[in-house]
Amino acid sequence: MAGNIIIINGNPENGSNKLDTYLLNLEKLLVSRDISFKRYNLSDEDLYQCIGCWDCWWKTPGLCRFDDSMSIMLKNIINSMMVIYASPMSMGFYSSLLKRFHDRTIPLVHPYIEIIGGECHHKKRYPNYPKLGFIFDSEDSTSHEINVVKEITNRVALNFHSEVKLFCLLTQLSEKEAFNEISNI
């Protein structure tokens, strides 16, 4: 795989836990194959909540009014080959930290609408968008909750003009298997 990977860790608990250990092992595999990556631990980032002002669409197209970590992250994301979102599942959904991050990715699309598959979606702002991967620690989640989150990840990809290339539950796919999926992109 050529290019770089951005890993967005939406785990609110940094440190020694299953998700972070999984990501560290995955990163070791990436290093072993000289695949460049950058990990953002959202719990360590300066990340404001989207206020829905739409400045990123109308006043400063593509740029959020907040001068926080997102400005760098968005540039790195749009210039990457793949973005991997990681999060524990809590109360049937991924972390609120990852949801806050997703809300702030709206500058990457236009406010203008096009019809895709009979639905209204925002037009692309950039010619190319990275492939998407999702890694979830779903230890206490039901199969119904996992299916809901899987459908949401597909919707995120559709709105992001991309496709899901990896949907991984820690209990079902080893780091090596996830790496193999990433390597095949």
Domain range list for the chain: 4-183
CATH homologous superfamily for the domain 4-183 = Flavodoxin domain (3.40.50.360)
- Provide the pLDDT for residue 20: 94
Q: Tell me the average pLDDT across 7-20.
A: 90
Q: Tell me the average pLDDT across 85-94.
A: 92
Give burial (CB, 10 Å; 0-12/13-18/19+) of 115.
exposed
Instruction: Provide the whole-model pTM.
Output: 0.93
The two structure tokens encoding residue 101 = 């991050």
Q: Tell me the average pLDDT across 159-181.
A: 92
With a cut of 60, say whether residue 97 has pLDDT above it: yes
With a cut of 80, say whether residue 60 has pLDDT above it: yes
Where does residue 50 fall: left (phi above 0), alpha (psi -120 to 50 degrees), or beta otherwise? beta
What length is written for the chain? 185
pLDDT bracket for residue 89 (50, 70, 90): very high
With a cut of 80, say whether residue 180 has pLDDT above it: yes
User: What is the spatial distance between Cα 132 and Cα 115, in angstroms, rounded to a whole number?
Assistant: 22
DSSP 88-118: EEETTEE-HHHHHHHHTTGGGEEEEEEEETT
User: What is the spatial distance between Cα 4 and Cα 6, in angstroms, rounded to a whole number?
Assistant: 7
In angstroms, what CA-CA distances link 54 with 36, 44, 51, 66? 33, 26, 8, 12
User: What is the spatial distance between Cα 123 and Cα 108, in angstroms, rounded to a whole number?
Assistant: 10
Place of tokens 């010619």: 127
